[in-house]
Amino acid sequence: MAIQFGRLTHQIFRSYNGEYNVYRLFCHGGHVTTAVFEGLGAPPALKSVTYELTGRWVTHPRYGRQFQIHTYLRQDQNAEEREQIQLVIEARKHI
C-alpha cells in the first residue's frame, strides 16, 4: 500500500451508477497524476481540501499510470475519526 497526500481538484469521469470515478490529483510536492476510486462513497473533488489517500499504483492499458484509491481521509477530520479509519486500513492489511 502507498499513501499520497494531495487535492482532488477535478473529477474527470464518473460512471452512470457512480461506482467508478476518475480524478486529477495534485500531490504535495507539485506532482500531478490521475487517481481512480471504485465503489460507493467516492470522495468529492474539492480544490480546497487536502486528502490522505491510501491505495496502490496501477497501470491502465490505455491511460497509463494511475493511483487507485482504497481509502481516503480529509485532513480536517478530527483525531477520533482518523483513528477509526486507521484501524480499518490496518485490518485490510491482514485480509
Give 17-56 pLDDT, tens digit per residue: 989 999 999 998 889 999 999 999 999 999 889 999 999 9
Task: Report how far apart the first and last C-alpha atoms of the chain are (Å, whole number).
Answer: 13
pTM of the model: 0.76
Report the length, in residues, of the chain. Answer: 95
* Each residue's pLDDT tens digit, 69-87: 999 998 865 655 666 777 7
Cβ atoms of residues 10 and 26 within 8 Å = no
Q: CA-based diameter of the chain, in Å?
A: 40
